[in-house]
Chains A and B, each alone.
Chain A
């Protein structure tokens, strides 16, 4: 009886472990970049697993970038007087809405928080075809500021991006050039 119980528990454990490993592999998330310049007959496709980025980022040590973190916020504050972290904390706690609108001769810029995303719209005026949309999940932006006061934590942001559902991050349309950056769970992208 004891031996049968041990056998059942062992078999069940192996099954659960196998399913878990399989699920981990199937859940690999991919970052895709597509650049198309129709006028130049140029196409760039990049497909990188987020797990690869997450493994390699901590190994990069350049200037203020170390361990997947960028020590830059103090410098930005000193140079521009803008406390980006404080701005984000204020924005994060606020209701959905449009918070920044900049209208210049060349372009209109809008920053809004809506439906769990931070969205930045840039609409060109001189060239009506120029449109930029940056769309980051709020959890990813939270992760960017999850480190020390002076840090932007890119590693945490990549990990948060891996946990999020499929997301279009950047969309640029400028004349005959288009750029798209997004995350999904297929190697070749959808």
Chain B
């Protein structure tokens, strides 16, 4: 019995060390990637690892990319696994005014139903508006809602995992119903 318990504790310790190492390595690599734009005499450098031109794919990460079309404009992109967002939201605590909480509560059923129905839909474009060469598009790609805005001044891409969308709605509902100032 004692030897079994000892073996279990050793395995647990090894597992925790491995997990911690993996998490630390991932965090370090993410820190290196998620860096602000570096500007030098040669102009802005793009340090993100996802750009609007590469498409959104059908993965499940949260993606955001912003590209200003001026010569010295911002060029920034970010990718965060949905799991990190969903887990992180569980530990976020927010206080909001009661009036705001009541207002938010009214929209929770609407947003919950919207998320559920969009999950059932096939991939495709829900809304596309093109005017004078400028585009706004709201689509579903895989497990994500994708918003794409392309104007003369800026290109913006946003891909939100539906799982994170639902987690946010649940968190908002939970927060607004139980935690108001």
Contacts A25-B120, A52-B114, A56-B113; A47 near B129 (Cβ below 8 A): no
Chain A residues closer than 8 Å to B127, beta-carbon distance: 45-47
Say whether A47 contacts B110, CB under 8 Å. no
**B133 interface neighbour in A28, A41, A47, A48, Cβ under 8 Å:** A41
Q: Does B128 contact A (CB under 8 A)?
A: yes
Say whether B113 contacts A59, CB under 8 Å. yes
B52 to chain A, nearest CB (A): 20
B139 to chain A, nearest CB (A): 10
Contacts A59-B109, A59-B110, A187-B122; A43 near B128 (Cβ below 8 A): yes
Say whether B131 contacts A41, CB under 8 Å. yes
Chain A residues closer than 8 Å to B109, beta-carbon distance: 59
Chain B residues closer than 8 Å to A51, beta-carbon distance: 117, 120
Contacts A42-B130, A51-B117, A55-B117; A187 near B124 (Cβ below 8 A): yes
Q: Does B125 contact A (CB under 8 A)?
A: yes
Say whether B113 contacts A43, CB under 8 Å. no
CA distance A44 to B126 in the complex (A): 11
Contact with B along A40-74 (1 / 0, CB 8 A): 11111111110110011001100000000000000
CA distance A163 to B110 in the complex (A): 24
Q: Is the interface of B mostly helix, strand, loop or mixed?
A: mixed
Contact with B along A5-33 (1 / 0, CB 8 A): 00000000000000000000100100000
Say whether A188 contacts B129, CB under 8 Å. no
Chain B residues closer than 8 Å to A40, beta-carbon distance: 131-132
Interface size bracket, A side: 20 to 34
Closest A residue, CB atoms, query B137: A45
CA distance A43 to B127 in the complex (A): 11
* Chain B CB within 10 A, most for which of A25, A43, A52: A52
Q: Which of B77-110 contact A (CB under 8 A)?
A: 109-110
Chain B residues closer than 8 Å to A41, beta-carbon distance: 130-133
Say whether B131 contacts A188, CB under 8 Å. no
Closest A residue, CB atoms, query B138: A46
Chain B residues closer than 8 Å to A56, beta-carbon distance: 110, 113-114, 117
B80 to chain A, nearest CB (A): 27
Q: Does B118 contact A (CB under 8 A)?
A: yes
Say whether A46 contacts B126, CB under 8 Å. yes
**A42 interface neighbour in B113, B118, B131, Cβ under 8 Å:** B131
Closest A residue, CB atoms, query B123: A187
Chain B residues closer than 8 Å to A45, beta-carbon distance: 125, 127-129
Chain A residues closer than 8 Å to B1, beta-carbon distance: none
Chain B residues closer than 8 Å to A43, beta-carbon distance: 128-131
A52 to chain B, nearest CB (A): 4
Chain B residues closer than 8 Å to A28, beta-carbon distance: 120-121
CA distance A60 to B125 in the complex (A): 24
CA distance A41 to B133 in the complex (A): 8
CA distance A28 to B124 in the complex (A): 14
9 CB contacts below 8 A, A to B, read: A25-B120, A28-B120, A41-B133, A44-B130, A49-B117, A55-B113, A56-B110, A59-B110, A187-B121
Which 3 pairs from chain A and chain B are nearest by CB?
A: A187-B124, A52-B117, A45-B128
Other 14 A-B pairs with CB < 8 A, given A41-B131, A43-B131, A187-B121: A40-B132, A42-B130, A42-B132, A43-B128, A49-B117, A49-B120, A49-B121, A51-B120, A52-B117, A55-B113, A55-B116, A60-B110, A187-B122, A187-B125
Interface residues of B (CB under 8 A from A): 109-110, 113-114, 116-118, 120-122, 124-133
